[in-house]
Amino acid sequence: PKDSSGPHSADSIKIKKEVANAFVKRQKRSTLYERYFEYYKSPMEQMHERCENYPPCDYLSDQIGFAMAYNRFFG
């Protein structure tokens, strides 16, 4: 029988936090209200995300403002 206090005990097994997080995702605690707004975003929030995900629009929004940048690329 193997001795648990040997060189391969559970204490000797270590992994980085980032690696562990790739395997184990904690369930985020949120209310029903928060979950609703996570799935059903406002049209304005969807527009902001669309612009942020398109680098030219995101860059231009820093220069001239979100509304003008969004209208230039998607309006």
pLDDT tens track for 1-46: 555 555 555 566 676 766 666 666 656 666 787 777 777 888 999 9
pLDDT score of 10: 59
Write out the residue range of the structural domain in which residue 59 sits: 42-74
Distance CA 51, CA 28 (A): 27
Phi and psi angles of residue 2, each rounded to the nearest 5 degrees, phi first: -85, 140
**Higher pLDDT pick, 33 / 56:** 56
Q: Establish if 22 belongs to a structural domain.
A: no
Structural domains counted in the chain: 1
Is 29 inside a domain boundary? Answer: no
Q: What is the pLDDT of residue 59?
A: 96
Whether residue 51 lies inside any domain: the answer is yes
Cβ atoms 73, 59 nearer than 8 A? no
Non-local CB neighbours of 47 within 8 Å, separated by 6+ positions: 70, 74
Q: What are phi and psi of 22, to 5 degrees?
A: -70, -25
